[in-house]
Amino acid sequence: MDGAAVKYLLDSVILIDHLNGISASSAYLAQVGAEAAISVITRAEVLTGFQQPHLPIARRFLEAFATLVIDKETADSAALLRRENGWKLPDAFQAALVLQHGLKLVTRNSKDFQPERHDFVHIPYRL
Protein backbone atom coordinates (compact mmCIF):
# COMPACT_ATOMS: atom_id res chain seq x y z
CA MET A 1 0.00 0.00 0.00
CA ASP A 2 1.69 3.18 -1.12
CA GLY A 3 -0.49 5.90 0.38
CA ALA A 4 -0.12 6.75 4.03
CA ALA A 5 -3.38 8.66 3.56
CA VAL A 6 -5.42 5.44 3.25
CA LYS A 7 -7.66 5.07 6.30
CA TYR A 8 -10.53 2.87 5.14
CA LEU A 9 -10.99 -0.54 3.53
CA LEU A 10 -14.24 -0.64 1.57
CA ASP A 11 -16.30 -3.80 1.79
CA SER A 12 -17.92 -4.90 -1.46
CA VAL A 13 -21.43 -3.98 -0.32
CA ILE A 14 -20.46 -0.28 -0.25
CA LEU A 15 -19.25 -0.38 -3.86
CA ILE A 16 -22.20 -2.49 -5.00
CA ASP A 17 -24.56 0.04 -3.41
CA HIS A 18 -22.84 2.82 -5.36
CA LEU A 19 -23.06 0.87 -8.61
CA ASN A 20 -26.76 0.25 -7.91
CA GLY A 21 -27.39 3.98 -7.53
CA ILE A 22 -27.69 4.18 -3.72
CA SER A 23 -27.04 7.88 -3.10
CA ALA A 24 -25.82 7.37 0.49
CA SER A 25 -23.01 5.17 -0.81
CA SER A 26 -22.09 7.57 -3.60
CA ALA A 27 -21.97 10.48 -1.16
CA TYR A 28 -19.79 8.48 1.22
CA LEU A 29 -17.35 7.49 -1.54
CA ALA A 30 -17.09 11.12 -2.63
CA GLN A 31 -16.38 12.11 0.98
CA VAL A 32 -13.56 9.61 1.63
CA GLY A 33 -11.99 9.73 -1.84
CA ALA A 34 -8.33 8.70 -1.82
CA GLU A 35 -8.50 7.71 1.85
CA ALA A 36 -10.29 4.51 0.78
CA ALA A 37 -8.81 1.27 -0.51
CA ILE A 38 -10.24 -2.08 -1.54
CA SER A 39 -8.97 -5.61 -1.10
CA VAL A 40 -8.51 -8.29 -3.72
CA ILE A 41 -11.54 -9.93 -2.06
CA THR A 42 -13.70 -6.86 -2.72
CA ARG A 43 -12.41 -6.63 -6.27
CA ALA A 44 -13.38 -10.23 -6.99
CA GLU A 45 -16.78 -9.91 -5.34
CA VAL A 46 -17.66 -6.77 -7.30
CA LEU A 47 -16.39 -8.12 -10.63
CA THR A 48 -18.43 -11.31 -10.16
CA GLY A 49 -21.58 -9.27 -10.81
CA PHE A 50 -20.46 -7.99 -14.23
CA GLN A 51 -20.33 -9.46 -17.72
CA GLN A 52 -19.36 -8.01 -21.08
CA PRO A 53 -19.76 -5.25 -22.18
CA HIS A 54 -19.85 -3.75 -18.65
CA LEU A 55 -16.86 -5.62 -17.21
CA PRO A 56 -14.23 -3.11 -18.47
CA ILE A 57 -16.23 -0.24 -16.93
CA ALA A 58 -16.34 -2.02 -13.58
CA ARG A 59 -12.58 -2.68 -13.74
CA ARG A 60 -11.88 1.01 -14.46
CA PHE A 61 -14.06 1.99 -11.50
CA LEU A 62 -12.15 -0.36 -9.19
CA GLU A 63 -8.81 0.99 -10.44
CA ALA A 64 -9.67 4.28 -8.71
CA PHE A 65 -8.86 2.60 -5.38
CA ALA A 66 -5.59 1.33 -3.95
CA THR A 67 -5.83 -2.47 -3.73
CA LEU A 68 -4.55 -4.48 -0.78
CA VAL A 69 -3.33 -7.99 -1.45
CA ILE A 70 -3.29 -11.08 0.73
CA ASP A 71 0.03 -12.50 1.87
CA LYS A 72 0.97 -15.32 4.26
CA GLU A 73 0.72 -13.06 7.32
CA THR A 74 -2.78 -11.98 6.28
CA ALA A 75 -3.81 -15.58 5.64
CA ASP A 76 -2.58 -16.72 9.06
CA SER A 77 -4.39 -13.85 10.75
CA ALA A 78 -7.58 -14.56 8.78
CA ALA A 79 -7.50 -18.21 9.87
CA LEU A 80 -7.30 -17.18 13.53
CA LEU A 81 -10.04 -14.58 13.15
CA ARG A 82 -12.27 -17.11 11.38
CA ARG A 83 -11.84 -19.61 14.23
CA GLU A 84 -12.44 -16.95 16.89
CA ASN A 85 -15.45 -15.27 15.28
CA GLY A 86 -17.01 -17.92 13.05
CA TRP A 87 -16.78 -15.59 10.04
CA LYS A 88 -16.84 -16.75 6.44
CA LEU A 89 -13.35 -16.75 4.99
CA PRO A 90 -13.81 -13.58 2.85
CA ASP A 91 -14.97 -11.67 5.96
CA ALA A 92 -12.03 -12.98 7.97
CA PHE A 93 -9.65 -11.82 5.23
CA GLN A 94 -11.22 -8.34 5.26
CA ALA A 95 -10.81 -8.14 9.04
CA ALA A 96 -7.23 -9.39 8.86
CA LEU A 97 -6.35 -6.75 6.28
CA VAL A 98 -7.79 -3.87 8.31
CA LEU A 99 -6.02 -5.03 11.44
CA GLN A 100 -2.74 -5.58 9.57
CA HIS A 101 -2.84 -2.10 8.00
CA GLY A 102 -4.47 -0.17 10.86
CA LEU A 103 -7.59 0.72 8.87
CA LYS A 104 -11.34 0.89 9.44
CA LEU A 105 -13.55 -1.60 7.63
CA VAL A 106 -16.37 0.29 5.91
CA THR A 107 -19.38 -1.98 5.55
CA ARG A 108 -23.13 -2.29 6.04
CA ASN A 109 -22.69 -5.86 7.30
CA SER A 110 -23.51 -5.20 10.95
CA LYS A 111 -24.67 -8.82 11.35
CA ASP A 112 -21.13 -10.18 11.09
CA PHE A 113 -19.26 -7.00 11.98
CA GLN A 114 -20.96 -5.44 15.00
CA PRO A 115 -19.34 -2.02 15.61
CA GLU A 116 -20.01 -2.41 19.35
CA ARG A 117 -17.87 -5.54 19.36
CA HIS A 118 -15.24 -4.67 16.75
CA ASP A 119 -13.75 -1.18 16.98
CA PHE A 120 -12.31 -1.47 13.46
CA VAL A 121 -15.80 -1.41 11.90
CA HIS A 122 -17.37 1.73 10.44
CA ILE A 123 -20.96 1.68 9.17
CA PRO A 124 -21.43 4.97 7.29
CA TYR A 125 -25.14 4.56 6.44
CA ARG A 126 -28.02 2.13 6.78
CA LEU A 127 -30.69 1.21 4.26
pLDDT digits (tens, 9 = 90+) for 20-78: 999 999 999 999 999 999 999 999 999 999 999 999 999 999 999 999 999 999 999 99
pLDDT at 48: 96
pLDDT at 117: 94
Whole-model pTM: value is 0.93
- Is the pLDDT assigned to residue 19 strictly greater than 80? yes
- Is the pLDDT assigned to residue 3 strictly greater than 60? no
Which one has a higher pLDDT value, 95 or 5? 95
Which one has a higher pLDDT value, 51 or 121? 121
| Domain ranges (residues) in the chain | 8-115
Instruction: State in words which class domain 8-115 has.
Output: alpha beta
Exposure string (b/e) for 36-71, b if CB count within 10 Å is 16 or more?
Answer: bbbbebbbebbeeeeeeeeeeebeeeeeebbebebe
DSSP, collapsed to helix, strand or coil, labels residue 86 as coil
Residue 116 pLDDT grade (very low, low, confident, very high; cuts 50, 70, 90)? very high
